Amino acid sequence: MANKIRVTVWNEYRHEKSEAKIAEIYPEGIHGEIKNILSECDDVEVTLATLDMPEHGLTDEVLNNTDVLIWWGHMAHGEVRDDIVAKVRNRVYNEGMGFFPIHSGHHSKPFKAIVGATGDLYWGKDQPEIVWNIMPQHPIAKGLPTCFELFEEMYGEPFRIPQPDELIFNSWFEQGNVFRSGCVFYRGVGKVFYFQPGHEACRSFYNENVRTVIKNAVHWLKTDLTPDNVDKGCYHQRASVLEELHAKK
Ligand code: ZN
């Protein structure tokens, strides 16, 4: 099919290699399971990238051919090269690549650089979570029930982020904490969606509602920008745009 959505799934891929119980939950790696989720869509093609690949798997060739970049990292955020973070940020801000950090991606370098936040939050033991679908009219929430239950690592407020441009999900945890679990940010000409479920020791990537969110989000995050409608600079003035406009009158 022409014009497939080109998704690159980036995973740190350390827990699965160092902890047998995590490898048991995700034998193909978290990135492998996300690829399985997206393989349910015939209009998506997936590239896999991991921290230990050359250039973290994010060469210019890969990045420039990525419409949506999914990011899962946790124990090795500090090992991600700053020059690659800058390229990821540039792709979002100036070229409209979608950025989709999941779970502990809230503390990743690209999340902080793109959203402009520390990403700090409260966290605690794994426990029941109810995800409330508070913006059912949003494309990311398409097909979801009013709420659904997961067993997840507790992430709680205050979550140190700018106010999201759109808040799609809000979660309750049994211990009493609440958390903004589905947040949209518009940055430059790109779109960002942060989604909280996805702890490596839980099984949320097998949950049907989580899988729906991931599929919906990938479709929504792709922008249809062309070089014609993206200005990559900060111009003193750009008379040609106005000249073209006036010439059409
Ligand atoms: Zn976690």
Q: How far is the CA of 105 from the centre of ligand 1 (A)?
A: 9
* pLDDT tens digits, 135-185: 999 999 999 999 999 999 999 999 999 999 999 999 999 999 999 999 999
Q: How far is the CA of 13 from the centre of ligand 1 (A)?
A: 13
Cα–Cα distance between 146 and 131 in angstroms, integer?
Answer: 9
* pLDDT tens digits, 79-136: 999 999 999 999 999 999 999 999 999 999 999 999 999 999 999 999 999 999 999 9
Q: How far is the CA of 134 from the centre of ligand 1 (A)?
A: 23
Read off the pLDDT of each residue in 65-75 and give the average, rounded to a whole number.
Answer: 98
Helix (H, G, I), strand (E, B) or coil at 195: strand
Residue 231 has pLDDT above 70, yes or no: yes
Question: C-alpha angle 215/109/38, rounded to 5°?
Answer: 15
Whose structure tokens read 């014009």? 3
- Where is 173: in which H helix or E strand? strand 166-173
Q: How far is the CA of 241 from the centre of ligand 1 (A)?
A: 48
Residue 1 has pLDDT above 60, yes or no: no
65 DSSP 8-state letter = T
The residue ranking higher by pLDDT, 212 or 243, is 212
Cα–Cα distance between 189 and 171 in angstroms, integer?
Answer: 28
Local confidence band at 2 (pLDDT 50, 70, 90 cut-offs): low
Q: How far is the CA of 111 from the centre of ligand 1 (A)?
A: 16
